[in-house]
């Protein structure tokens, strides 16, 4: 157990629907990161929050949004889902906003859009 908790572990939904993925960082970590991993794209950075504020943004689609709450958990909202959104979505956390020791990933949410 890495200490980073992601729910749900698996999600199957239809095209056009909206889903919310949840992440609880390790105790004491202020930064949360979201990554998407698909077979053809590898691990792609989506967004980072640090202590409730957006810190960095990757090539996140406009249909996707995220936030970090006062208790530091984070949610990634995916809407108007398309088949191509099927992927593993990982959350990671770290104490600092720019760690040099790597960060800890959660076990991921596998999203399947049918």
- Pick from 5, 13, 52, 55 the residue near another protein by CB under 8 A: 55
Task: Please report the sign of the dihedral spanned by the C-alpha atoms of residue 11, residue 113, residue 41, residue 52.
Answer: negative
Residue 65's CB: how many other CB atoms inside 10 A?
Answer: 14
Shortest CB 16 distance to another protein, Å = 27
Answer yes or no: are the C-beta atoms of 25 and 73 closer than 8 Å: yes
Q: Which of 33, 81, 89, 109 binds another protein (CB under 8 A)?
A: 33
Which residue number, 2 or 17, has a Cβ lying nearer to another protein? 2
Count of residues engaged in binding another protein, rule: CB under 8 A: 28
Contact indicator for 55, 31 with CB cutoff of 8 Å: yes
Span from 15-23, 53-61, 62-70, 77-85 in contact with another protein (CB under 8 A): 53-61
Please give the Cα distance from 75 to 42 (Å, whole number): 22
Q: Which residues contact 54 (CB under 8 A, 6 or more apart)?
A: 47, 48
Triad 8, 10, 11: Cα angle to 5°: 90
Q: Of 11-19, 20-28, 52-60, 71-79, which segment contacts another protein by CB under 8 A?
A: 52-60
Which residues between 70 and 109 bind another protein (CB under 8 A)?
A: 88, 90, 94, 96-108
Q: Catalog residues that contact another protein under the rule CB under 8 A.
A: 2, 31, 33, 42-45, 48, 55-56, 58, 88, 90, 94, 96-108, 110
């Amino acid at each position: 157990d890495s200490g980073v908790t992601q729910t749900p572990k698996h999600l199957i939904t239809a095209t056009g629907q909206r889903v919310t993925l949840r992440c609880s960082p390790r105790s004491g970590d202020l930064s949360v990161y979201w990554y998407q991993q698909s077979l053809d794209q590898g691990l792609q950075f989506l967004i980072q929050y640090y202590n409730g504020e957006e810190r960095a943004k990757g090539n996140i689609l406009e249909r996707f949004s995220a936030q970090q709450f006062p208790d530091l958990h984070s949610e990634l909202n995916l809407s108007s889902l398309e088949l191509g959104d099927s992927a593993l979505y990982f959350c990671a956390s770290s104490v600092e906003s720019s760690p040099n020791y790597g960060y800890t990933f959660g076990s991921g949410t596998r999203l399947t859009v049918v």
